[in-house]
Amino acid sequence: MNTIINKDKKIAIIGCGYWGTIITKTLIELGLKNIFIYDSSAKNLHALKKKYNTVKIIKNYSKILFDKDLTNLFFATPPSMNYSLVKQAIINNKIIFLEKPGVNKSSDLNKLIKLNKKFNSRVMFGYVYCFSDHIKYIKKIISKNVLGKLLYINFQRQNLGPIRNDVDVTYDLTSHDLSIILFLFGKLPKKISHIKYPILKKNLCDISNLHMKLDNTFIDINNNWINPTKIRKINIVGSKKMLSFDEMDLVNPIRIYNKYAKYPKIHEFNKKFFEAKALIYLGKNFSPKIKSSQSLLNEIKYFLKLKKKDRPITDFLFSLKILKFLETI
Ligand SMILES: NC(=O)c1ccc[n+]([C@@H]2O[C@H](COP(=O)([O-])OP(=O)(O)OC[C@H]3O[C@@H](n4cnc5c(N)ncnc54)[C@H](O)[C@@H]3O)[C@@H](O)[C@H]2O)c1
């Protein structure tokens, strides 16, 4: 997909909070000249305008919908608000970028899918890790069998906030980790057990520990939005090597450890000892130099270059699989 982005394209950002501001910044960096912003909160709308004064404020959502030249819409609004906003955008044939997890019910997503069969709008979901050069590298390493058999994967995504009040920590954070699993393996694991704690508010969990199995690989996802420090880690334990991805390490985010643990085969261990002890192999580690650019920049470029016939990687089906999984845990 090497098309050049039309910098004069008219674009609107709906939702000018934390993530809408970052999307706006990225669009400006990409050189887009006609950026319009809309938010139901006048305070947030004006705060974004103050930050980037070249953007233009639109005070009425229907103005966006009825402007035929305003083709591409970015939704960075809370999932509970998205169904009705996006429904109208589909009917008006907009090209839609909808931040993860999209909506908060798979039944609503199914209704949007059905509606879109009639209107055939382009819809892509904002699962930013599918556009990360580091995650793409990990996918390559796994497909080349560098790590050997995958025995265990652990995802840790923790921080203090943002704390949502319309969805729990699984819709907000676990959805990211599930998108990485879906991107790496083309399928989602089966749940073994799930422990979640509602701490700040009844019926909305703040901490989630999800235990799963994908074929022969055990997978845990630990999410927490009331953690004092920011942790973004993936550890992969293979039968030949181990890999760690620490997003917070800006110098060497990926390390490949030439390490493994295994029990010797029965004929290999010293018969004098009754019990077979696990052997631990410690070899050299290395940190690959990966040419990477910002994942959000990659993602937005991909979206802006989508053609009518293209099916985005993070399409309706991708998002539906994640939402349905979240509803079963
Ligand atoms: N990909 C990522 O890494 C990432 C990171 C953060 C957030 N997000 C996603 O972005 C979305 C927004 O998150 P956020 O952190 O920016 O939230 P936020 O609360 O900071 O911002 C949401 C904005 O939407 C506005 N809004 C609410 N209802 C609206 C409506 N009906 N019409 C117009 N505007 C409305 C609010 O006033 C607010 O300004 C969520 O879906 C979240 O999951 C993604």
Same domain, 167 and 100: no
Q: Establish if 324 belongs to a structural domain.
A: no
Asked whether residue 322 is domain-assigned, the answer is no
> Do 282 and 304 fall into the same domain?
no
pTM: 0.96
User: Does residue 242 share a domain with residue 189?
Assistant: yes
Residue 327 placed within a domain: no
Element (H, E) at 141: helix 133-143
Closest CA to 251 of 217, 304, 292, 211: 292
Which residue CA neighbors atom 38 of ligand 1 most closely? 17
156 and 107 together in one domain: no
Do 58 and 106 fall within a single domain?
A: yes
Is the minimum distance from the CB of 86 to ligand 1 under 6 angstroms? no
Closest by CA to 178, choosing from 135, 142, 216, is 135
Based on the fold, state whether residues 91 and 145 are members of the same structural domain: no
Pocket lining: 58 vs ligand 1, CB cutoff 6 Å: no
- 5 within some domain: no
**Ligand 1 touching residue 34 (CB < 6 A):** no
pLDDT band at 267 (very low <50, low <70, confident <90, very high): low
Nearest CA to ligand 1 atom 29: 40
β-sheet bridge partners, residue 210: 194, 221
Q: How far is CA 250 from the centre of its chain?
A: 19
Q: Would you state the pLDDT for residue 279? A: 82
Q: Is the same domain home to 31 and 123?
A: yes
Mean pLDDT of the chain: 95
**Residue 13 CB–ligand 1 contact under 6 Å:** no
Task: State which ligand 1 atom lies nearest to the alpha carbon of 16.
Answer: 39
Q: Is residue 201 part of a domain?
A: yes
Same domain, 123 and 139: no
Q: Is 19 close to ligand 1, i.e. is its CB under 6 Å away? A: yes
Tell me the C-alpha distance between 281 and 244, whole Å. 17
CA of 281 relative to ligand 1 center, distance in Å: 47
Could you identify the atom of ligand 1 that is nearest to the CA of residue 20?
16
In a domain, 2, yes or no: no
Are residues 60 and 203 both part of a single domain? no
Structural domains in the chain (count)? 2
Task: Give 2's pLDDT tier (boundaries 50, 70, 90).
Answer: low
Q: For 86-126, what is each residue's pLDDT tens digit?
A: 999 999 999 999 999 999 999 999 999 999 999 999 999 99
Question: Which structural domain range is residue 59 located in?
Answer: 10-128+295-315
Sequence-ordered strand ranges (E) for the chain: 10-14, 34-38, 56-57, 70-75, 95-99, 123-126, 150-160, 190-197, 207-214, 217-224, 226-238, 242-246, 254-262, 279-286
Q: Is the CB of 17 under 6 A from ligand 1?
A: yes
Residue 106 lies in a domain: yes
Q: What is the mean pLDDT of residues 18-34?
A: 97
142 and 276 share one domain = yes
The domain that holds 79 is classified in CATH as 3.40.50.720
